[in-house]
Structure 1
């Protein structure tokens, strides 16, 4: 038996040696076939669901009428992502929001706030006319590498991996904050001078961030009880924690609410409807938002209404139960703290509540995203909606824009963002005096509390000179930051 096995092994080795080139060709063909198969999924899913399908010539229904020319067209693209990017609408409206997903399992984790990161959010600022640059820490996630290193909101950093930041090198140096490990140099500031304190090296780990970050009640703001909530993402697996926060406000019988959405780039549309329901019980079960799809999916047009119950989900987005919503009946207006990072589902709160109550905005103009997406899988039998029946040979998926959102008055005109209607105030102007969230003297919160007190005008909190300039951050590894998505079970053919 051993001799037979040895002979068989030698024969296999000989065959492999004499036919290695043929095997490589077979592998190439196999990879080409796989790419063509995924390309076919990309085109057909976009043809069915993409919001601007009718405006993209290559998504015309006739494109796949001739099988030979259609196959040749698919083979023009060496990767499915290249094909996907070629189908993005960029004429009258630039689609900044659709993206290709390499691994939908990892993406689903990101939707629930589970990412590999330092747990650090920051802002870059040029602090003078000499092009000196710092980044100040805007937020540190609990139980993250940054929090373990005792990094705090308001800390000032002037070097990354030994490179002192300038306006010239900022774009390249900042990439260090998206690597597996980074060394940050911390400084203090006095009279415009920076003094070195220490260096800290942190390593990225898996961080699961609770977006219901901080709640507080101010017991006497001009005789009023004011609730404050820092809410950093519409993540459905934290619906119950969000509801608990409003249970706290309800028990405290607050008469004003300040909702801090400066770091909130969006997330679940369903959760946005729940939050609106918590804020204003007098809306009863009226209409919160209308979702309008492309001409091929008009049957999916539907509404989210204010509601008295919410769904509870686990971290795998599996429904585990329901809860009665803690709805406030004592609120007749809403204060929202905003920034350029306030986007999508956050802006949906502003737009959806505006027909019912005054929504007072303090901060800077919001991001401007009145459209939303859904995850499309390689599952043609379900019109690309079913994750469970997705092609098991790959983990590619799509996150294209598939609907536009309107409030009950049919309003959706905020593609350029919502401008502050009470006080415009830049957080970065206070880079050298950035107080903790919830501190009564923190610049943006103070402006809201002053308005409640009847004091108008800009915050009197100490700030640096007017020479400060915010710098755009050229990198991001978390597309969730500006997302507004619906679950497939919202759609009729999955109900």
Structure 2
């Protein structure tokens, strides 16, 4: 399963030092010497970002600043000036190095919506491992009729969190924080600020309005909180069939063995059908997605699951084996034998929160399995990424054990998009989302209890399995589009991370 990209020659990808011009006039001597004191090392974050993006960035050929003939080496005065052009490395990354022309062309495919730069790489790494500062309340945010005030609806509560011990549950509504009414202009500071403690002011639906009910819920964020992505797993018996149900909220490597155990239980019970609930799953590690797909379809290690497509520079130095990954028969890290169900059909609940590795499972299985998509249009992210830090010895890859080798003067980490994953049929063009076979948005006034057979999305899926699909009657508010959710500012929201599948570049001198 593990593929290795070809090594690149230093002459092809690393700057070559240029000879300085010693022919200067005496009266210009002082000024030139002062300029020569500035080198790429004086801008470590910007230099690191450029080196990575020039090699790996998927849209490298489309960003003028990343053109291979743009600069004449790391000592080129124009290169130094370019590095110095933005004092804030974040501005340098997003303004000067990423491809973002959606506004001009009106096409999501012509925009990088997901590359990330963060000042402390450890925050990025923790986020990818499901570790964050959290009070445990997951929610969606909605606008009101005046388009100023907003309200939130709780979607689920994380087990073992602060909220799990409080009187708050799925379906509860709030319209204020610390006594302040939530609005379009203040919700970011109130809900996503640095405050470790806040109090939610709860509310109720009243006709077409949301009215405060004087109830308050005080919450405290737990630092380094770790979320188990396996939220619910159970077997539902219906009409003589055993149906496995798994609500899985993120593809996290630390829980791969536990995920394998869940599929082992399904296999031991000889289930007839499987429902995967990805409605709130924004993605994660690709190797975990490969494991999930293999657990559904089979350990057919000779059959292609995904093909990675990088920029032209990478592809020109790659062979098929370098960019292809088949189904697997073991977990990725522990190499435990994989439990598989060998199914020909799978039912997947997916919504506008479903992205990246979740979509990869759906798209990757499509050539082999009848994937029945219940819910809503998904996010539409076929691009994958990787984590990079300022450690040239690994080709700037974060390996998990090179923390001591990272430049102490530059702790920035970046997670740029490196390419697209396509399925065995060569399909990856779903930037506008994967379309459901049976459409049903969540009803904010009737969310139901997750995992219960009368929860609307699960109930619809069960009715499809039974062949008694019923029409759904929803009130107008059910179709109100959410404009934000509790993970919207997560560093790795909608991530598809290829760690473990790429070999760090190493120069040959």
Match of 1:255 in 2: 272
- Greater shift, 430-439 or 332-341, is seen at 430-439
Residues 229-240 of structure 1 mapped to structure 2, 5 A cutoff: 229-240=246-257
Q: CA, structure 1 residues 121+65, in 2 after alignment: closer, same or farther (shift >3 Å)?
A: same
Which TM-score applies when normalising by structure 1?
0.84
Aligned runs of 1:83-482 on 2, under 5 Å? 83-85=92-94, 86-91=96-101, 93-126=110-143, 133-165=150-182, 169-173=183-187, 175-179=189-193, 180=195, 181-189=197-205, 194=211, 196=213, 198-206=215-223, 207-220=225-238, 222-281=239-298, 283=300, 285-298=302-315, 299=317, 301-312=322-333, 321-329=334-342, 331-387=343-399, 388=402, 389-421=405-437, 423-427=438-442, 430-459=443-472, 463-466=474-477, 469-473=480-484, 476-482=488-494
* Residue 195 of structure 1: how far off its partner (Å): 6.3
Rounded to whole Å, the distance in 2 between the matches of 1:182 and 1:311 is 40
Q: Deviations over 1:246-289 (max 9, x none)?
A: 11111111111110001100010111000000111275541110
- Look up the SS of the partner of 2:344 in the other structure: coil
Count of matched residue positions in the alignment of Structure 1 and Structure 2: 448
Larger relative contact order (C-alpha < 8 A, sep ≥ 6)? 2
Cα RMSD of the aligned pairs, angstroms, is 2.5
1:134-173, CA deviations, whole angstroms, 9 ceiling, x for partnerless residues? Answer: 32101111111221223211112132222334xxx24523
Structure 1: gaps of 5 or more residues: 1-28, 313-320
Which deviations, in whole Å up to 9, do the C-alpha atoms of 1:25-65 show, x marking residues without a partner? xxxx9999765122111111110110010111110112230
Q: Distance in 2 between matches of 1:62 and 1:367?
A: 36
Instruction: Determine the C-alpha separation between the residues in 1 that align with 2:471 and 2:309.
Output: 39
Gaps of 5+ in 2: 1-35
- What residue number does 2:27 align with? none
Alpha-carbon contact 1:129-1:467 (below 8 Å) kept? no
1: CA distance between counterparts of 2:217 and 2:279? 27
CA distance in structure 2 between the aligned counterparts of 1:173 and 1:405, rounded to whole angstroms = 35
User: Which TM-score applies when normalising by structure 2?
Assistant: 0.82
Structure that is richer in helix per residue: 1
For 2:270 and 2:245, the matched residues in 1 are separated by 13
Determine the C-alpha separation between the residues in 2 that align with 1:131 and 1:70.
46
Write the deviation string for residues 405-425 of structure 1: whole angstroms up to 9, x where unpaired: 11011111111110111x211
Q: Contact conserved, 2:201 with 2:212, CA < 8 A, in 1? A: no
